[in-house]
Structure 1
Amino acid sequence: MYDEKTNSIVEAQQTSVGMVADLLLTAEKELGAFYGAIAGRYGSDEARKAARDWIEEVETMDWPMAGTIPNWRHVSIVAAGCLASRVIQRSLNP
């Protein structure tokens, strides 16, 4: 009985580690694409700010259950909105 309980705990931990690894990989790809697009259009300084916005949005997310992957595009859209606000503010107040 103890061995079965220990095995299920170990299995759950391994599943969690695998899920986190998958989440990090997909997040890294999305953030990398987002950063690259912003850097190409607005430069690396603005890309760093946008990446910070992206990460801050991730921190506010409700994390999914049952192994579903978060909608990273939603995070990118929110961060792009922050970027747009900064760009508009700069153009209005040169």
Structure 2
Amino acid sequence: MRGYRHLNCAEAATRALSPSYQSKESAMPYVNIKITQEGHVTPEQKAALIRGVTDLLANVLHKNPASTVVTIDEVPLENWGLGGDPILVAREKNQKK
């Protein structure tokens, strides 16, 4: 049985991008969560998202939590679009329906 060790962020990122680590057995899951900067997401909420996604991959896909990489990007609202429109325009259109 192969042992596992914790990786630092640099090691995890290097392995995640390396083709030699992309085999079925050792593929390192990488999940990127994108949210708007609208409202305030607390560090505790971010930690819960990271833990929840990591647990989900472990439970459903049997991925090693120690090698699961989760990132959260907070996108400025003006950089978010839906249906071909900036999100604020899309919301206005939706409210008029």
Higher relative helix content: 1
RCO higher in 1 or 2 (8 Å CA, sep ≥ 6)?
A: 2
Higher relative strand content: 2
**TM-score normalised over the length of structure 1:** 0.30
Greater C-alpha radius of gyration: 1
**TM-score normalised over the length of structure 2:** 0.29
